[in-house]
Chain A
Amino acid sequence: KQEVTQIPAALSVPEGENLVLNCSFTDSAIYNLQWFRQDPGKGLTSLLLIQSSQREQTSGRLNASLDKSSGRSTLYIAASQPGDSATYLCAVRRLGGSEKLVFGKGTKLTVNP
């Protein structure tokens, strides 16, 4: 059974700092990995999707990497801003079969002005 772990559970940083969020998964037979952002009381917003054949994806100040063989992904946020404060969730879709996503519990990020 696929299990997804996110470390740390919570992170507080001053504005302007670069930071890394970590995600690990137990079964490397994945189809893709997706990073989401969730604001309090809201749904999930997709940030980046990495196919299993890719090593990284970039969007603005965000960069996500994938090392499938070691079961790890990182989300790098450059020059953090207070508006980046949210919970960040990592999710994997396994190779073959169901399209369901398996999520981690998330990392709650607070960026202090």
Chain B
Amino acid sequence: GAGVSQSPRYKVAKRGQDVALRCDPISGHVSLFWYQQALGQGPEFLTYFQNEAQLDKSGLPSDRFFAERPEGSVSTLKIQRTQQEDSAVYLCASSQRRGLLGTDTQYFGPGTRLTVL
């Protein structure tokens, strides 16, 4: 079946612009995650949803970052007034979460590479 898809794959923004990044998880997956990956680093957690509920947003670096998943499927990560330090790859992942004893492997999309000039 189809994997996690993200759009756009590449985004160039001028400093101060707002951007919106989209994630389509694997159909039926309950949990959805956003991570930020800087060059040469491992991914850093931003936020995650279980269905439409945002259960943890502790990784969002500032109030300029906002994520939503209104119908429990597609998610959007919005960054307002972008700054150069926001340049990174933004990865989305989803998992089936079969309960506490489930395997909950996270499946990742290809990422959106954001460059802020």
Which positions in A face B, CB cutoff 8 Å?
Answer: 4, 32, 34, 36, 42-46, 49, 51, 89, 91, 93, 97-106
Contacts and interface: CB of A to CB of B under 8 A. Distances in A.
Contact of A44 (B40, B43, B97): B43
B40 A103 contact: no
Nearest to B42: A103
A34 B103 CA distance: 10
Contact of A46 (B31, B48, B97, B106): B106
Interface of B: 4, 31, 33, 35, 40-45, 48, 50, 55-56, 58-59, 91, 93, 95, 97, 103-111
B40 A105 contact: yes
Contacts of A89: 42-43
Given A43-B110, A43-B111, A105 B41 contact: yes
B45 to A, nearest CB: 4
Given A43-B91, A106-B42, A101 B106 contact: yes
Nearest to A98: B56
17 contacts: A4-B42, A34-B106, A43-B91, A43-B109, A44-B108, A46-B107, A51-B103, A89-B43, A91-B43, A99-B95, A99-B104, A100-B48, A100-B56, A100-B59, A101-B33, A103-B42, A105-B42
B110 A100 contact: no
B4 to A, nearest CB: 8
B45 A102 contact: yes
Residue among A44, A97, A102 with the highest chain B CB neighbour number at 10 A: A44
A46 B104 contact: no
